Amino acid sequence: MEIQSTEQLLQGHCRPCEGQTALYSAEQALAQLAHVEDWYLVCDGQRIRRDYTAKNFLAGLAFFDRVARLAEIENHHPDLHLEGYRNVSLELWTHTIGGLSVNDFILAAKINGLEKPTAVVVE
């Protein structure tokens, strides 16, 4: 599997994967992470995650709305977490294959281009 640059990921689109999509190995996932700033591996390398601290509860919810709209366009949906009223986390993985695919990195790159929660402090 070819590792894609940030530009390639941004130009790509998530494709439906009826379980036929290639699963990233741990080594491939680490190499691809270099092209999606601030995301990291979780769940034994089967998911990627990014954390934010929003200015307040409503800023976190507004960010979720922007992420949700993008996810609908791409037809690839992250797990959204809001804890402690302003701690926002996103997790991506391809459910049908039980791990990471190119779709996860495409959506991560595009999420990185969204306006962050107001007065965000990336942790």
CATH code of the domain in which 90 resides? 3.30.1360.20
Residue 115 domain-assigned (yes or no): yes
SS3 94: strand
Q: Is 102 part of a structural domain of the chain?
A: yes
Q: CA–CA separation, 81 vs 111, rounded Å? A: 15
Is residue 1 a part of any domain in this protein? no
Total domains present in the chain: 1
Q: What is the pLDDT of residue 115?
A: 80
- The answer to whether the CB of 53 falls within 8 A of the CB of 120 is yes
Which domain covers residue 118, as residue numbers? 6-122
Report, as an integer, the average pLDDT of 62-81. Answer: 96
E-strand stretches of 3-96: 40-42, 47-53, 79-83, 87-92
For the cut 80, the answer to whether the pLDDT of residue 116 exceeds it is: no
Q: Residue 47: pLDDT band by 50, 70, 90 thresholds? A: very high
What mean pLDDT comes out for the span 98-119? 89
Does the residue 17 lie in any domain?
yes
Q: What is the mean pLDDT of the chain?
A: 90
Q: What is the pLDDT of residues 7-46, one digit of tens each?
A: 999 999 998 877 677 899 989 999 999 999 999 999 988 9
